[in-house]
A = this chain, B = another copy of it.
Amino acid sequence: MATSAPPLSPPAVHLRPLTPLDFLERSAYVFPEKAAVVDGDVRRTYPELRDRVYRLATVLQAMGVRDGERVAVLAPNASAILEAHFAVPLAGGILCALNIRLTVGEIDYILEHCGASVLIYDADFDEFVKELKPRARCIRVGAPGEEYEKLLAAADPTKLHKAEPDEDATLSINYTSGTTGRPKGVMYTYRGAFVNALAEIFHAGMRPESVYLWTLPMFHCNGWIFPYAVTAAGATHVCLRKVDPKKIFELIETEKVTHLCGAPTVWISLANDPSARPFPHRIHITTAGAPPSPTIIKQMEALGAEMTHVYGLTETYGPITVCQWKSPQWDGSSDGERARLKSRQGVAMLTMDARDVRVVDSNLNDVPADGKTHGEIVMRGNNVMKGYYADPEATAKAFAGGWFHSGDVAVMQSDGYIEIVDRAKDVIISGGENISTIQVEKVLVSHEAVLECAVVAMPDPKWGEVPKAYVTLKPGRELTAEALIAFAREHLPGFKTPKAIEFGPLPKTSTGKIQKFILREREWAGREKRVN
């Protein structure tokens, strides 16, 4: 399948390297009067965004950035990080958007590993940056008149040296959360981002009239490529420094937001907020990170949202599969059935070969499409990373046999849709039997008092491991562990029923994913942990 690209001798009139930078050029050309970015009180048109991008690229080149030099960004979802998504590659550099929830030690590690020569950081992180080892040259993004804005104002974009685009070059490096070791630097290419952006536009149904609110962090998988997809569509970016339900409901109304992305926890926080109220118009939500529960799908649909569930990893530019809704066949489904259908990970996205996402056994043979046999999800194609930066060993391991190994355990349903059973490292092995923590969690959240939960393995002298649940209740609700265990027992076999329940808030990543590894470590502290 994957062959070498054709040998082409320049100049070829019919070949243009695929680059997401062209999307900005086109929207600045076609939509000169349109709002490209809304960031608080600031509104900028596409030509204004393009001008700032050119200025920032010029500033970066003056600092020596070109030819694949890494530029790190530590910033919330505001103008600067969006600008960096275009300016860093325009200068010829590689973007490393940093997870703003990491510790000083973690960021130090990443900055050293990627070797960034420039760090663009938001003034919110002044104290944080002081604690970092001095390494990169810094640009501080502050108020008008401060460093970043002064540099942009002083830049002469006619000095910019535009690099020859190479579509297989590295566009960005996104570090994994590193739950099972040191963070790894996932490399995206220009070609991958271009093709993925077009697929995202299609699946989200984005149009030039769309308005996209940044509820998903841009540092996360380059915001699932939406910085490029939204720009390609000629739609409007509405920045949001942090997920604040009250603010989100306001912006949806005032800015006429039509599209949002995020993990289910974002929607849980929205739907259960005191400020929750029906949207004044239809909204399209792309959700990933965990399967949306029947409850949250129902709640969000009631507010006026259409939910599309997608699935992927940092290694796949974010989403690589979509739970493609089938109209009219599924339109008449009951609420429960809709939720069941929508909670599946689905099928390869538009720009993929359908057979390039598979569920396989350890010999890379497809598991039967019986909805029962467990296998690992593997992928390949333009939606898969180029590799881990400066880590040929990890790359070779991840690409064993010519496929990217997701580490996610799934079944193949009879209709060809993939359904994740669990992360390989989350599966509980109790007396030799596998337990899908996702299955147990689905039962628990179906209890009307439960807001969200996470099930992890707890050590057990007899069974080795048994399920334990961490549960957050809805505001004002009460429930005993005994009552919830009894409820679970009605829907699950004995060995899958949680043996212990602990109530309280759940640890989460910056993107709203529940951090099971923290809970697991708590359970296994001082003991020999399973190796995954």
Query: Which residues in A have some Cβ–Cβ distance to B below 8 Å?
Result: 1-18, 22, 25-26, 28-34, 164-169, 189, 191-192, 195, 198, 201-202, 205, 207-209, 232-234, 324, 326-327, 329, 347-348, 350-356, 380-382, 384-387, 399, 402-404, 415-416
Contacting residues, chain B, for A195 (C-beta < 8 A) = 18
B9, B232, B352, B356: which contacts A4 (Cβ < 8 A)?
Answer: B9
| A12-B16 contact in complex given A22-B353, A26-B354, A33-B329, C-beta closer than 8 Å | no
A9: min CB distance to chain B, Å? 6
B2, B25, B201: which contacts A12 (Cβ < 8 A)?
Answer: B2
- B356–A6 touching, CB < 8 Å: no
| A324-B208 contact in complex given A167-B5, A350-B232, C-beta closer than 8 Å | yes
Kindly state the separation between the CA atoms of A451 and B169 in the bound complex, as whole angstroms. 54
| A354-B15 contact in complex given A3-B10, A326-B31, A415-B32, C-beta closer than 8 Å | no
Kindly state the separation between the CA atoms of A147 and B350 in the bound complex, as whole angstroms. 35
Contacting residues, chain B, for A354 (C-beta < 8 A) = 22, 25-26, 28-30
- B404–A13 touching, CB < 8 Å: yes
- B209–A327 touching, CB < 8 Å: yes
Contacting residues, chain B, for A168 (C-beta < 8 A) = 5-6, 8, 15
Contacting residues, chain B, for A324 (C-beta < 8 A) = 30, 208, 234
Identify the interface centre among A4, A28, A348, A382: most chain B CB within 10 Å of its CB.
A4
Q: Which 9 A-B pairs have the closest CB atoms?
A: A6-B168, A29-B354, A5-B5, A16-B381, A26-B354, A22-B353, A4-B8, A198-B198, A14-B384
Kindly state the separation between the CA atoms of A31 and B356 in the bound complex, as whole angstroms. 17
Question: 14 extra interchain contacts, Cβ-Cβ under 8 A, other than A29-B416, A30-B347?
Answer: A4-B8, A4-B10, A6-B166, A7-B7, A11-B402, A14-B382, A15-B381, A16-B382, A26-B347, A29-B347, A30-B416, A198-B350, A232-B350, A234-B324
Contacting residues, chain B, for A355 (C-beta < 8 A) = 25, 29
Instruction: Identify the closest chain B residue to A403 (Cβ).
Output: B13
Kindly state the separation between the CA atoms of A5 and B13 in the bound complex, as whole angstroms. 13
Contacting residues, chain B, for A329 (C-beta < 8 A) = 33
Contacting residues, chain B, for A1 (C-beta < 8 A) = 11, 16, 164-165
Contacting residues, chain B, for A234 (C-beta < 8 A) = 324
Instruction: Identify the closest chain B residue to A166 (Cβ).
Output: B6
A30: min CB distance to chain B, Å? 5
Instruction: Identify the closest chain B residue to A195 (Cβ).
Output: B18
B3, B9, B198: which contacts A166 (Cβ < 8 A)?
Answer: B3
| A7-B10 contact in complex given A25-B353, A30-B324, A32-B415, C-beta closer than 8 Å | no
Kindly state the separation between the CA atoms of A192 and B15 in the bound complex, as whole angstroms. 8
Contacting residues, chain B, for A192 (C-beta < 8 A) = 14
Contacting residues, chain B, for A167 (C-beta < 8 A) = 5-6
| A380-B6 contact in complex given A25-B353, A202-B202, C-beta closer than 8 Å | no
B5, B15, B202, B348: which contacts A201 (Cβ < 8 A)?
Answer: B202
Kindly state the separation between the CA atoms of A234 and B324 in the bound complex, as whole angstroms. 11
- B189–A14 touching, CB < 8 Å: yes
| A22-B198 contact in complex given A6-B169, A8-B4, A8-B168, C-beta closer than 8 Å | no
Identify the interface centre among A6, A31, A416: most chain B CB within 10 Å of its CB.
A6
A379: min CB distance to chain B, Å? 8
B13, B198, B380: which contacts A402 (Cβ < 8 A)?
Answer: B13
Kindly state the separation between the CA atoms of A44 and B178 in the bound complex, as whole angstroms. 48
- A381–B14 touching, CB < 8 Å: yes
Instruction: Identify the closest chain B residue to A25 (Cβ).
Output: B354
Contacting residues, chain B, for A386 (C-beta < 8 A) = 14
Kindly state the separation between the CA atoms of A15 and B187 in the bound complex, as whole angstroms. 13
Kindly state the separation between the CA atoms of A385 and B386 in the bound complex, as whole angstroms. 29
Kindly state the separation between the CA atoms of A445 and B216 in the bound complex, as whole angstroms. 52
Contacting residues, chain B, for A356 (C-beta < 8 A) = 16
- A14–B348 touching, CB < 8 Å: no
Contacting residues, chain B, for A402 (C-beta < 8 A) = 11, 13
